[in-house]
């Protein structure tokens, strides 16, 4: 390891609000109550009500039950007022509301009502995607734009970490070599300040936004430890990884053209020709495979009949739009001039294909998921079958292994229980789990409406 520069440029920032999940109940209230104007007290009361719901849910998740939620939340009044102020600033920036007279009143704009309508009828995915689009269209959150944030995570190769330490009340930066990782990043000095050009507070916020939109997950461990001469590690604190598979239309077209020029192509051929990491290459191939444009034969990649029929980018886009409609993916426009999230074909979009991001969920089967769950379970229990493990701990490890979001883990685990009820046993037992394990958007695991904290696997 060696000493690097002390501290650094704070970089470009994003709006200082992590808790954008509160926008959904605010939007639902404005829509269902037919509000044209919201008062600051209205917004605060919604934030307070949602905070109480969250505290109740956390208490249930850890098996600790207490009644006086109002008293507990009352102690956080200043904190909730700060969230309210930051939410209002964000919603004004993103075109959801604007100030009006008298002071402390805010006019509800149509986008907020659209989100409220979608959320009220249970279409949470579209409500979130519409909010994501509004954030991008505002052009006020530059570090969060997907070609900067998501693509740099996808293309990142970790071979060293630049850690921030405290020594004699001063910030120091040191470099550590670590095992190679692809398509992942730590919130260290190298990735946050040098690659993204932002600051640590903004990165924490973007991480929270990314988790809310189910674009990424975190893993709360880092491969370095504190040297005795230092007081503590400030950064990195966690690893981030994408939970969606993404690539540009331009990358897909170039890969497809390359595979058509040869009878068979390997992943190594693509890595060498396009100078990309293995994870980036696999991401592009995944989305081509989802759209049935390539096939795998004896470890080689060949263009399918659909792939061979594509002669230009316009034809490729038609296949992509049809695939998005059927496969529940989406397209993100991230050009300097235009920003959009598309779930269907649009005649209004005419941009360079390098600014068009194709985004799909990973293609793990239930059998793939079960194998990984069993492997992780065996590792956590030391091979002792029918020993209980904490579901949050199992979720953390499986999500990292498969690069899936926590909500996808819960969905697949519920499916597995339904299909193989004799192999999985859930338990409600309380125990040595703490509130610290429940981060901003972690939800307790629920199966058929009931909260479970532990499981064991047999069969």
User: What is the side-by-side strand order in the sheet with 239-242?
Assistant: 184-186, 239-242, 216-219
In sequence order, which ranges of 214-277 are alpha helices (DSSP H)?
Answer: 249-260, 267-274
Instruction: Give the pLDDT band (50/70/90) at residue 129.
Output: very high
Q: Domain 245-361, what architecture?
A: Orthogonal Bundle (1.10)
CATH of domain 20-139: 1.10.10
**Angle formed at CA 336 by CA 291 and CA 195, multiple of 5 degrees:** 85
Integer angstrom CA distances of residue 34 from 26, 40, 109 = 12, 17, 12
Per residue in 239-286, pLDDT (tens digit) is 999 999 999 999 999 999 999 998 889 999 999 999 999 999 999 999
User: What is the side-by-side strand order in the sheet with 330-334?
Assistant: 244-248, 356-361, 330-334, 339-342
134 neighbors 209 (Cβ within 8 angstroms): no
Q: Say if residue 437's pLDDT is above 60.
A: no
Say what the pLDDT of residue 3 is.
34
Say what the pLDDT of residue 436 is.
46
- Would the pTM of this model clear 0.85, i.e. be above it? yes
Question: Which tokens go with 15?
Answer: 């709006």
Say what the pLDDT of residue 356 is.
96
Say what the pLDDT of residue 435 is.
46
66 neighbors 111 (Cβ within 8 angstroms): no
Say what the pLDDT of residue 66 is.
54
178 neighbors 160 (Cβ within 8 angstroms): yes
- Between 106 and 349, whose confidence is greater? 106
238 neighbors 218 (Cβ within 8 angstroms): yes
* Domain pair 20-139 / 245-361, same fold: yes
Q: Say if residue 43's pLDDT is above 60.
A: yes
**Angstrom distance (rounded) from CA 393 to CA 389:** 7
- Assign 53 to helix, strand or coil: helix
User: What is the side-by-side strand order in the sheet with 170-182?
Assistant: 170-182, 157-167, 232-235
Q: Roughly what angle, to the nearest 10 degrees, separates helices 23-32 and 40-62? A: 120
Average pLDDT over residues 324-338: 91
Per residue in 153-168, pLDDT (tens digit) is 999 999 999 999 887 7
Question: Which tokens go with 305?
Answer: 């009949």
Per residue in 68-114, pLDDT (tens digit) is 666 666 667 888 899 999 999 999 999 999 999 999 999 999 999 99
- Between 142 and 52, whose confidence is greater? 142
HSE-up of residue 23 (Cα within 13 Å, Cβ side): 35
Domain boundaries, the chain: 20-139, 150-243, 245-361, 366-457
Per residue in 357-391, pLDDT (tens digit) is 999 999 999 999 999 999 999 999 998 877 899 99
Say what the pLDDT of residue 1 is.
34
Mean pLDDT check: name the lowest of 3-17, 108-122, 238-252.
Answer: 3-17
Residue 303 burial (CB count, 10 A): 23
């Amino acid at each position: 390891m060696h000493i690097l520069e002390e501290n650094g440029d704070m970089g470009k920032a994003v709006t200082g609000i992590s808790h954008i999940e509160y926008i959904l109940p605010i939007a639902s209230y404005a829509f269902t109550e037919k509000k044209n104007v919201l008062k600051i007290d209205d917004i605060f009361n919604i934030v307070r009500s949602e905070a109480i719901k969250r505290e109740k849910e956390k208490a249930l998740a850890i098996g600790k039950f207490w009644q006086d939620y109002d008293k507990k939340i009352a102690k956080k009044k200043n904190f909730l007022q700060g969230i309210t102020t930051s939410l209002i600033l964000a919603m004004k920036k993103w075109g959801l509301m604007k100030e009006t007279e008298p002071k402390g009143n805010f006019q509800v704009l149509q986008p907020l009502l659209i989100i409220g309508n979608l959320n009220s009828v249970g279409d949470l995915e579209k409500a979130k995607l519409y909010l994501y689009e509004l954030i991008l269209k505002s052009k006020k959150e530059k570090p969060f734009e997907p070609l900067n944030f998501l693509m740099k995570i996808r293309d990142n190769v970790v071979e060293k970490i630049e850690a921030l330490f405290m020594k004699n009340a001063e910030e120091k930066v040191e470099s550590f070599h670590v095992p190679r990782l692809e398509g992942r990043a730590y919130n260290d000095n190298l990735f946050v300040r040098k690659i993204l050009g932002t600051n640590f507070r903004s990165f924490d916020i973007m991480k929270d936004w990314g988790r809310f939109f189910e674009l990424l997950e975190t893993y709360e461990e880092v491969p370095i430890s504190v040297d005795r001469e230092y007081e503590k590690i400030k950064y990195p604190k966690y690893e981030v990884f994408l939970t969606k598979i993404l690539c540009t239309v331009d990358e897909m077209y170039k890969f497809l053209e390359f595979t058509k020029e040869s009878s068979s192509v390997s992943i190594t051929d693509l890595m060498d020709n396009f100078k990309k990491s293995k994870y980036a290459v696999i991401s592009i191939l995944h989305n081509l495979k989802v759209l049935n444009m390539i096939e795998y034969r004896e470890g080689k990649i060949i263009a399918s009949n659909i792939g061979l029929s594509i002669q230009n980018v316009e034809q490729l886009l038609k296949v992509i739009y049809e695939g998005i409609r059927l496969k529940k993916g989406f397209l993100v426009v991230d050009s300097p001039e235009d920003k959009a999230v598309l779930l269907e074909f649009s005649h209004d979009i005419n941009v360079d294909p390098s600014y068009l991001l194709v985004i799909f969920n990973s293609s793990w089967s239930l059998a793939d998921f079960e194998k990984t769950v069993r492997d992780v379970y065996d590792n956590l229990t030391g091979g002792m079958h029918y020993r209980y493990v904490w579901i949050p701990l199992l979720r953390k490890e499986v999500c990292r292994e498969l690069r899936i979001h926590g909500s996808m883990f819960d969905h697949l685990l519920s499916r597995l229980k339904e299909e193989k009820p004799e192999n999985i046993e859930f338990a409600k037992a309380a125990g040595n789990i703490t509130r610290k394990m429940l981060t901003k958007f972690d939800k307790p695991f629920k199966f058929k409406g009931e909260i479970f904290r532990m499981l064991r696997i047999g069969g």
